[in-house]
Structure 1
């Protein structure tokens, strides 16, 4: 196990998930997805860790996150990469997440309110892309905004069946997909809504 991977696991184990929740704080230690309002959830911890490790984060990388949500995943990305660009479509969730992340003194996070399904073109390309909502298909815009040598983790499917995929782009711009797990995420809203 490389040292970065060990550091991520160690950091993750000491994270206080309840800090990122407004209700049901007593359920924070359990490995399950929990509601955070607006028909959104905070993912189960084991899945957050699995997705983060699959990205193979490096200290100077530029990361795009679709779905800021509670800010729990954002904090983990920001702790182990250079810069995080995170997009959330629900204003109240974005506001709360930003307040929490600023309390934790993260200086390397850029926030955007809106439809994340088309990425954040003006800051592309990204070395890593984390998608925390399920798309009906892999958005073409995200593939285009993924740097050569980059990795993207994204759930793809419908309301009943989704695959968590790791998509890697090689130096020739070709993509290679690995199936990581069967998952169930809230839908990605916008252009690629199923």
Structure 2
């Protein structure tokens, strides 16, 4: 692909993000800086600038860019924040967050995905991302509390351990739903007295599964 063609595809990529509701300047700047193609392999890398989910290893997917953008935007991350991501997947979402946040902690139940993502993070010089292989439904109590938490797999309800690891005035964004066909993206704000919930839009994500996968 020529440099001119690549630049045109990137411009179209950002235009698509804006038309689908991603308007936050910091989010758009982060997504312009992070090349989605770095997180895909083979033929799928050629489709990196299409707004669609694509398959990765371990039967998982890389989310469509507009959803990554909308979730990042909804988190309202600033440069002081420590962010916990549940579901490293390809590493793309963590890389986008790393452009905005002070530090990103990301955990996945698939050790293979974590190792693959670590290689990419190192290659891109993203030293403010810390990776873990483990059960994301329990969060990372040793590193808590977090300013922001993002979950890239759907649970029936926001997991209690994750709610508990959110700072006062912290925000969590996650999909919830009882099946893979009926899910809603929600934003949770922790207040001094409890939690406030806001429904953002319908989505489809893989389910949040407990335990560590055996895929090595």
The question of 1:126 aligning with 2:146 is answered: yes
Q: CA deviation at 1:68?
A: 0.6
Indicate which of 99, 105, 115 corresponds to 1:85.
Answer: 105
1:10 aligns with 2:38: no
Q: Which runs of 4+ in 1 moved over 6 A?
A: none
Counterparts of 1:1-194 in structure 2 under 5 Å? 5-23=24-42, 24-157=44-177, 158-170=179-191, 172-190=192-210
Q: Partners of 1:145 and 1:14 in 2: how far apart? A: 30
C-alpha displacement at 1:137, in angstroms?
Answer: 1.3
User: Which of the pair is proportionally richer in strand?
Assistant: 1
1:105-152: per-residue Cα shift (whole Å, max 9, x none)? 111111110110010001110000010001121100111000001000
Distance in 1, Cα, partners of 2:87 & 2:61? 10
Q: Do 1:151 and 1:168's aligned partners in 2 also have CA atoms closer than 8 Å?
A: yes
**Number of equivalences:** 187
Please list every run of 5 or more consecutive structure 2 residues that lacks an aligned counterpart in the other structure.
1-23, 212-216
* Structure 1 CA distance for aligned equivalents of residues 101 and 50 of structure 2: 27
2:20 corresponds in structure 1 to: none
Judged with a 3 Å threshold, the aligned counterparts in structure 2 of structure 1 residues 156 and 29 are, in CA distance, closer, same or farther, namely: same
Contact 1:156 1:164 in 2 (8 A): yes
Structure 1 segments unaligned to the other structure (5+ residues): none
- If each structure's helix is expressed as a fraction of its own residues, which one has the higher value? 2
2-structure distance, mates of 1:19, 1:96: 11
Q: TM-score if structure 2 supplies the norm length?
A: 0.83
Q: Provide the C-alpha distance between the structure 2 equivalents of 1:122 and 1:14, rounded to a whole number of angstroms.
A: 31
